[in-house]
């Protein structure tokens, strides 16, 4: 059976994303899943942008990664699972425990920017 090596490890990817964001003082991680509207080419693409809004370190916006939604579906599933746990516990922030982070625990907020629409577009923000 062939394995698809293009899929990412969701926990490792989220840990790297959170670590890089914290080390570079970014406080907003914007994730958008968009449907490419070219009729001959209809795959979904996930883009991640990092934003810094800070008087001390200055404002900045940086493109982090782009990948197909097929490659990122486990990452999106992990985020959805963390979000559901947050809402089930009536918490204001997500607390994620993992050995992959230097500090073993990360707390971050979740903000839905756009619900899934007719084109299956989705946009949300993780607030550090």
pLDDT digits (tens, 9 = 90+) for 30-47: 999 887 666 666 667 889
Q: What percent of the chain has pLDDT over 70?
A: 85
Greater pLDDT, 121 or 10: 10
pLDDT exceeds cutoff 70 at 3: no
Domain ranges of the chain: 10-127
Global confidence as pTM: 0.84
Q: What would the DSSP string read from start to end of the chain?
A: ----TTS--HHHHHHHHHHHHHHTT--EEEEEEEE--BTTB--EEEEEEEEE--TTT--EEEEEEEEEHHHHHHHHHHHHHHHHHHHHTT-SSEEEE-TTSTTSEEEEEEEEEE---TT--EEEEEE-
pLDDT exceeds cutoff 90 at 4: no
């Amino acid at each position: 059976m062939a394995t698809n090596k293009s899929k990412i490890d969701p926990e490792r990817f989220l840990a790297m994303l959170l670590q890089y964001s914290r080390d570079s003082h970014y406080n907003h991680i914007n994730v958008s899943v968009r449907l490419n509207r070219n009729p001959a080419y209809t795959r979904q693409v996930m883009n991640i942008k990092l934003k810094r809004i800070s008087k001390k370190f200055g404002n900045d916006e940086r493109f982090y990664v782009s990948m197909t939604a097929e490659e990122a579906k486990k990452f999106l599933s992990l985020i959805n699972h963390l979000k559901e746990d947050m809402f089930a516990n009536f918490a204001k922030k997500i607390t994620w425990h993992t050995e992959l982070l230097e500090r073993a625990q990360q707390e971050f907020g979740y903000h839905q920017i756009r619900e899934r629409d007719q084109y299956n577009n989705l946009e949300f923000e993780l607030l550090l």
